[in-house]
Amino acid sequence: MNNHGRSRKMVISLDVLISERLLCDLRYSRALLMLLRARAYLRPGGHIMPCRVAVHLCAGDFSCHSATITWHQHPCLGGLKISNLESDNSLLDAMKPDVTASLHSCKLFEVDTRIAEEKDIMPTCTSFRLELHPHRIMTSLILYVNADIHDVPGSQHDTTQFSAAPPSMSTGSNIHEHVLTSSSSGSHPRKQTILHLPAAGDTTSGLLTLSGQEFPIVEGSMATSWSEAFRRIEVTFAITACHASLKEDCNVQIKKSFYLD
């Protein structure tokens, strides 16, 4: 209050802005949006951590766990349907190398948090292409985040990156990389967003199972949009895959959505 009894609006000017949630839980979530909006309180020339964020995608092989993942699709207690108990997405700590079904990951987008706009972290359509491992079975999509803590333009030696990538997915860069390990090691748990895909056609038949030998290439797109009067962010993946011996027609076409938490 001032001397005349009027309220005085407090102006906050921060030197450093840190997203603790984003750094401790490296997933594609609303925390990235909140970080961009919080820049309104940052003074000119202030620092943001993380200063750069990249969202990557790879394929997962959970074929050995299909019964556990699809438990909600089977009636119980004399025919009670519990399919509505399925969650939008699940989390997995410390991805094992043999769970990765693609040979490489695909970068969906990368933003500089110091200048990025909301539309940059919510692409309306981003295409991707994944090459599957010939001896694996794709059942799911895996989203993970790489975050740069500080960045000096023109120099890679002064950049530190935290990555939630599965062990078999290398960034291929020369920067100082800290891959988050499981919680049992005393560090932050490495978590990815796991999007289990339904079988093509009849969704009651369980998980999608794409043999890397029969379907070597999977292509698709990711789209984000606001839903429910700008209260939730919906992410939709659409994928297509062609059988190796029937390249003219796409034999598999699937869509799957989830909401950012």
Q: Rounded to whole angstroms, how far apart are CA atoms 81 and 158?
A: 55
Q: Rounded to whole angstroms, how far apart are CA atoms 31 and 22?
A: 6
Residues 203, 214 contacting (CB under 8 angstroms): no
Q: Where are the alpha helices (DSSP H) in 103-221?
A: 118-121
**pLDDT score at 183:** 36
184 pLDDT above the threshold of 90 = no
Contacts with 117 (C-beta within 8 Å, 6 or more apart), sequence order: 36
**pLDDT score at 36:** 95
Which of 160, 56, 174, 53 has its CA nearest to residue 107?
A: 56
Mean pLDDT score, 207-223:
92
Residue type, 185: S
Count of CB atoms situated within 10 Å of the CB of 259: 14
**pLDDT score at 105:** 94
pLDDT bin (cut points 50, 70, 90) of residue 174 is: very low
Q: What is the CA radius of gyration of the chain?
A: 21
Residues 140, 24 contacting (CB under 8 angstroms): no
pLDDT bin (cut points 50, 70, 90) of residue 121 is: very high
Mean pLDDT score, 242-251:
74
154 pLDDT above the threshold of 70 = no
pLDDT bin (cut points 50, 70, 90) of residue 93 is: very low
Query: Which region among 68-72, 218-222, 229-233 has the lowest average model confidence (pLDDT)?
Result: 68-72
- The domain locations on the chain are 16-259
**pLDDT score at 125:** 94
Q: Rounded to whole angstroms, how far apart are CA atoms 237 and 135?
A: 24
* Pairwise pLDDT comparison (239 vs 200), residue with the higher score: 239
Average pLDDT over the chain, rounded to an integer: 77
**pLDDT score at 212:** 93
Mean pLDDT score, 63-86:
50
pLDDT bin (cut points 50, 70, 90) of residue 80 is: very low
Residues 259, 234 contacting (CB under 8 angstroms): yes
pLDDT bin (cut points 50, 70, 90) of residue 166 is: confident
pLDDT bin (cut points 50, 70, 90) of residue 97 is: low
CATH superfamily of 16-259: Hnrnp arginine n-methyltransferase1 (2.70.160.11)
- Is 187 in a helix, a strand, or coil? coil
